[in-house]
Amino acid sequence: MSSLLIAQAGGPSCALNATLKGVIEEAKKHSKIDKIYGALGGAGGILDKNLVDLGNQSQRFYELLSSTPASVIGTSRRPLFEDDFQSIIKTLKELNVEYFFYNGGNGSMATCNKLFQALKEDIKIIGIPKTIDNDIAVIDHCPGFGSAARYMAVTTSEIAQDIAAMPIHVCIVEAMGRNAGWITAASALANKSGKGPHLIYVPERPFIKEQFLSEVEKMFKEMGGVLVVVSEGITDEKGRPIVPPMIVPGSKDPYVGDVAVYLAQEVFTKLGIKARSEKPGIALRASVTHQSVVDIEEARRLGALAVKSAVEGKTGYMVGIKRVSSCPYLTEDILVPLSQVATIEQKLPDRYINEKGNGITKEFLDYCSPLVGELPEFAGDYLVI
């Protein structure tokens, strides 16, 4: 008999628990797995032996798991040092863990790879991708992204209806994704009826404030309400954040942000046009209300695939999805060596960004649409005047 242990790392998503469900369901099919451990609060849960038995929970717990946002076992951004790796390995062996799963982003895949290098065949180690940012290399897309993209597309389409109904201001929506513009780009799906977003700025292109102001001014004169979506991470030509980070003596991390607030103030003070900003922030990654059906199904499937692969003796891989076609949407599940994805950041390719750097191409919409699912239709588009 042997044990399985899963830990999560990095910012939550609303597909993380679906992956956990897939892991639990598959593990229960294998009689040689007699314990399904979950590390509470990320890798720290292994270090502190703070674990939970995921195989013996109530029916209600399992029923609610996929539609619960964030992480029921908790996650963390705690950095791991050399000593920590030795402690983790010791604990895994003490617990008779034969299968270890680490569910996180590209940084976590590096951690996972390091453990694999240290343990080789002793313990089967599989990484499971998770990030709303969609910035993991090799794979087509990552569990968590589809739902974040759906949130962005649906919410932007709803805001667009509001702006169109009372077109008196410039509205600037800030999207998550500091280095990669995938989530920001997903807002482009909302613009089916020309109601916006009218301008979209991703961090892959330099943001020229003067150009932005002149574009906004021109559009506002033409049509009244203007809807803009910007990534929280846009930078200028020299790669500097648009809003300088606030550094506090004694604090490790600076206070970063709020670029939409700053740009709304710029529109108001420089152009004399009413402006406001919206920043759903964490609501975006925590919204089960906006879960994408495809995303949740894939998250669950990859959790199960990780267990299946480990039981078959595979180790040192990350499970992932390869796209076969967009229309119809067809995919293949794949295993990628951890070394190929560790710490590599996958940004939005050039072909998805328009030439002016203020919008998204149709090619991206074709890519993103099946991950997001159908968007709501609105009566205004059928109004005959």
Q: Which of 280, 293, 297 is nearest to 374 (CA)?
A: 293
DSSP state of 69: -
Q: 380 near 164, Cβ under 8 Å?
A: yes
Q: Which of 133, 305, 304 is nearest to 204 (CA)?
A: 133
Q: How far is the CB of 240 from a second copy (least distance, A)?
A: 19
- Count other C-beta atoms under 10 Å from residue 176's C-beta: 23
Q: Which is nearer to a second copy, 71 or 235 (CB)?
A: 71
Q: How far is the CB of 246 from a second copy (least distance, A)?
A: 7
Site for a second copy in 1-40 (CB under 8 A): 11-12, 14, 17, 40
Site for a second copy in 308-337 (CB under 8 A): none
Residues 6+ apart with CB under 8 A from 48: none
SS3 call for 333: strand
Site for a second copy in 171-210 (CB under 8 A): 171
- Count other C-beta atoms under 10 Å from residue 52's C-beta: 16
Structure tokens at 317: 């891989």
Q: Which is nearer to a second copy, 150 or 347 (CB)?
A: 150
Site for a second copy in 35-94 (CB under 8 A): 40, 42, 52, 56-58, 60-65, 67-77
Residues 6+ apart with CB under 8 A from 54: 6, 20, 24, 36, 37, 38, 73
Q: How many residues bind a second copy (CB under 8 A)?
A: 78
Q: Which is nearer to a second copy, 72 or 97 (CB)?
A: 72
Q: How far is the CB of 334 from a second copy (least distance, A)?
A: 28
Structure tokens at 55: 């195989």
* Measured CA distances, 252 to 43, 79, 193, 246, 295 (Å): 21, 13, 46, 11, 35
Q: How far is the CB of 305 from a second copy (least distance, A)?
A: 22
How far does CA 346 lie from the centroid of its chain? Answer: 12
Q: Which is nearer to a second copy, 69 or 177 (CB)?
A: 69
Of 122, 133, 236, 366, which is the active-site residue? 133
Q: How far is the CB of 29 from a second copy (least distance, A)?
A: 21
Separation between Cα atoms, residue 344 and residue 137, nearest integer Å: 6
Contacts with a second copy, 137-176, as mask; x by CB under 8 A:
-----------------xx--xx-xxxxxx-x--x-----
Sheet strand arrangement including 170-175: 170-175, 226-231, 199-201
Site for a second copy in 241-300 (CB under 8 A): 246, 248, 250-251, 253, 255, 257-258, 261, 264-265, 268-269, 272, 274-283, 285-290
Q: Which is nearer to a second copy, 161 or 354 (CB)?
A: 161
Q: How far is the CB of 314 from a second copy (least distance, A)?
A: 29
Q: Which is nearer to a second copy, 70 or 213 (CB)?
A: 70
Partner residues linked to 270 by β-bridges: none
Active site residue 133: yes
Q: 378 near 161, Cβ under 8 Å?
A: yes
Any idea which residues carry the catalytic annotation? 133
